[in-house]
Structure 1
Amino acid sequence: MDKHTMLPVLLKTDAPRFLIIGGDAAGLQKAQELLRQNRDIRLRVVARSFSPAFSSLLSGYPQVALLEREYDSNDLKNTDFVIVAANDTALEHEVKQQADHQNVWVHLVHRPELSDFHLDVKPAKKQDNEKKYSKLAFRIAAVFLAVFFGYSLSAIITVDQLGLYASQIPAPFYIMLAVGFFAQLVDGAVGLGYGVTCSTSMMLFGVNLASISGSIHTAEMFSSAVSGYSHYRFGNVNKKLFLWLVIPGVIGAVAGSLLLIFLGNKYEDVTYAIVSTYTFIIGIRLIIIAFRKNIEKKPVKTTGILGFAGGFFDAFGGGGWGPIVTSTLLAKGRKSKYVVGTVSLAEFFITLTASLVFFSSLGVKYVYIVAGLIIGGMMAAPLAARLAGKLPQKAAILAVAALVMISSLRVFLRFL
């Protein structure tokens, strides 16, 4: 849309009928903008699935109709303005063509240059001032707490003593800090890679497999808690899928942990070979799917078995929850944003279970490695959650495929 041909118009929102297509963060934002302007606005929203925040609109705005299904051309009937918030090029062109034929104005959130109108709803000045005051109060409080605790700490530990303590921290701590940050950034944004990245790094220090798995799960328990909560806040979690994954996954994690403790490293190579063969095949399938014009959504009939296998191999092999569960769900045509968010939240309970089993039997070893992984992972988790769903579907699938196949090849090379 050429900005020189645009004419600002004030529209009364009492009579027009609005339709939003898309149930993720972009659709929620547009719905909130319209409802902020007129809480009685006539609004319908169509989407394959809705975030928890979107669903909560029903309680405050009973006139808002949330239709959880595929878009249909009949949705344009009795509609004056349609907003396409789904980042789907094919769907955008389809809606635009059908809307033009029916003289319905269209706003494409991700393709503004093709839109018939732009939605420019600004919050009231009072709300702006309240936000400014809230931010200012938060910053003042943060500065006060920093000064207060800094001054209190200086009375206990001098700067020289603090420097001495810092110099005594072993170098592997800082290495694991970077490893934990990068591993969680990849895992939280794409849905896998944490265990593979961490286990590879820890092998360089000569740590045995049981201690590797125990340390990784202890560290990942903290970072996955932050990541899972962040994904839940951003509406990236499918609750039904979560329950089908987490219960069998916990059972599988207990079985895998106990088997690893009692059998030691005897079947280590066999386990890695099985997981790597499976994930390598999944990686090839993902590449094929990514280059299809339309990714066909297929039912996942064995979600419970998938969760059990992911939990078992994750605990027994030091990683595998992401490569097995995430890649399989994406291969079935599930949307990457909700797959990553749901799998990440379920991962917390898997790692918690494995950590409790390992801790009760092995204790906590290599404290500085665990501490580095924990701190680095927690720093990266919120950023990774914001990145989830930002990549186009094809790019996210290719990224998952690349990580899966690289980790599989890494294990294959061990047998040469």
Structure 2
Amino acid sequence: MELTPSLFVGVAAVALLCEYIDASVGMGYGTTLTPLLLIIGFSPLQVVPAVLSGQLAGGLIGGFFHHKLGNVDLDFRQDKAIKKRLRGLGYMPNSLDSKVIFILTVCGVVGALIAVFFAINISTIALTTYIGIMVLGIGITVLIRRGREIKLSWGGLTAIGLLSSFNKGISGGGYGPLVTGGQIISGREVKSSVGSTTLAEALVCIVAFVGYLLTDEVIYWSLAAATGIGSVIAAPFAAHTVRRVNTVKLKFVIGIATSMLGTIILTKTFIF
């Protein structure tokens, strides 16, 4: 499909809105933008790399502004205490937020690779039902436990990273809702959860996008530019929104948004 100047602007505007929502609540970019681009008339092989590149660009810029505005504390220098304990064998960043992002990213790559071996053996209905129930369950849990203080669980974070990237690898979706909501119910502060998800998903997108570059498929660079421009413009505004909004209200919005996404996935599976 030809990308006319007016359509380029339209795609950029839609990507801007999707990235603003995604970087504000930690979910919704691919889930919203991908079907819209397919409805417009672009082919899946044109859409997926463009969505990945847009989320990559917006996520990196969003992560920078989340850090600059204090939503997350990014310090990827080696943690000296852990370095000493490991005797120089291995790496773990210094700040808590950077540790979470590092774990989510590593788990993201591993989970995506595992997903490749399962994708061909899982029916579409079973897959979408599984993701829908899981996302809905996470959303309801966030709402039920939104007023409670929970101790951070590193094991829970690792499981969330593997599971969410597995979902993304076999279906293209289900990452943001699980990572953001899962961090919250694992004991993470809500604003840090959103900022960490924004950057972690961008880093996972790097791996996926490089994978497309290494194939024989031709990237539709004009479409990728449109999604990238819109996403980059939106990212700073989303970070400002997260900084200003009340934490309890933000957690409530994330719980509602996650529950709605799970409900939509299940509805599309069994009705449409």
TM-score, structure 1 as length reference: 0.53
Change (3 A) 1:342 1:322: same
8 Å Cα contact 1:213/1:315 also seen in 2: no
Which amino acid counterpart does residue 245 of structure 1 have in structure 2?
L
1:194 maps to what in 2? Answer: 29
Do structure 1's residue 370 and structure 2's residue 198 form an aligned pair?
no
2:13 maps to what in 1? Answer: 178
Aligned counterparts of 1:273 and 1:382: Cα–Cα separation in 2: 35
Aligned counterparts of 1:283 and 1:303: Cα–Cα separation in 2: 16
1:296 maps to what in 2? Answer: 150
8 Å Cα contact 2:157/2:186 also seen in 1: no
Which amino acid counterpart does residue 270 of structure 1 have in structure 2?
A
Candidates 49, 72, 78, aligned match of 1:214: 49
Aligned counterparts of 1:172 and 1:271: Cα–Cα separation in 2: 33
8 Å Cα contact 1:257/1:357 also seen in 2: no
Q: Deviations over 1:77-132 (max 9, x none)?
A: xxxxxxxxxxxxxxxxxxxxxxxxxxxxxxxxxxxxxxxxxxxxxxxxxxxxxxxx
1:146 maps to what in 2? Answer: none
1:241 maps to what in 2? Answer: 100
Q: Deviations over 1:263-291 (max 9, x none)?
A: 49x7444332221110101111112123x
Candidates 325, 329, 340, aligned match of 2:194: 340
Q: How far 1:296 moved relative to its partner?
A: 3.3
2:206 maps to what in 1? Answer: 352
Aligned counterparts of 1:215 and 1:259: Cα–Cα separation in 2: 25
Q: How far 1:376 moved relative to its partner?
A: 0.4
Which amino acid counterpart does residue 214 of structure 1 have in structure 2?
P
Change (3 A) 1:323 1:191: same
8 Å Cα contact 2:100/2:196 also seen in 1: yes
Do structure 1's residue 330 and structure 2's residue 165 form an aligned pair?
no
Do structure 1's residue 381 and structure 2's residue 235 form an aligned pair?
yes
Q: How far 1:352 moved relative to its partner?
A: 0.3
Aligned counterparts of 1:321 and 1:371: Cα–Cα separation in 2: 23
Change (3 A) 1:397 1:234: same
Q: How far 1:300 moved relative to its partner?
A: 4.0
8 Å Cα contact 2:53/2:227 also seen in 1: no
Q: Deviations over 1:207-237 (max 9, x none)?
A: 5656543331122111111112222333414
Candidates 246, 250, 275, aligned match of 2:131: 275
Which amino acid counterpart does residue 284 of structure 1 have in structure 2?
I
Gaps in structure 1 of 5+ consecutive residues: 1-167
Change (3 A) 1:232 1:298: closer
- Larger relative CO (CA 8 A, sep 6+): 1 or 2? 2
Q: Deviations over 1:166-212 (max 9, x none)?
A: xx825432332122111111111221111111123123135565654
Alignment partner of 2:153: what SS? coil
Q: How far 1:298 moved relative to its partner?
A: 4.8
Q: How far 1:354 moved relative to its partner?
A: 0.9
The structure with more helix, counted as a fraction of residues: 2
Change (3 A) 1:313 1:214: farther
- Percent of residue pairs bearing the same amino acid type: 23
8 Å Cα contact 1:213/1:317 also seen in 2: no
Aligned counterparts of 2:256 and 2:7: Cα–Cα separation in 1: 28
Q: How far 1:311 moved relative to its partner?
A: 1.9
Gaps in structure 2 of 5+ consecutive residues: 74-96
Count of matched residue positions in the alignment of Structure 1 and Structure 2: 245
Aligned counterparts of 1:242 and 1:372: Cα–Cα separation in 2: 27
Q: How far 1:337 moved relative to its partner?
A: 1.4
Candidates 286, 291, 312, aligned match of 2:166: 312
Provide the aligned C-alpha RMSD in A: 2.7
1:54 maps to what in 2? Answer: none
The structure with more strand, counted as a fraction of residues: 1
TM-score, structure 2 as length reference: 0.79
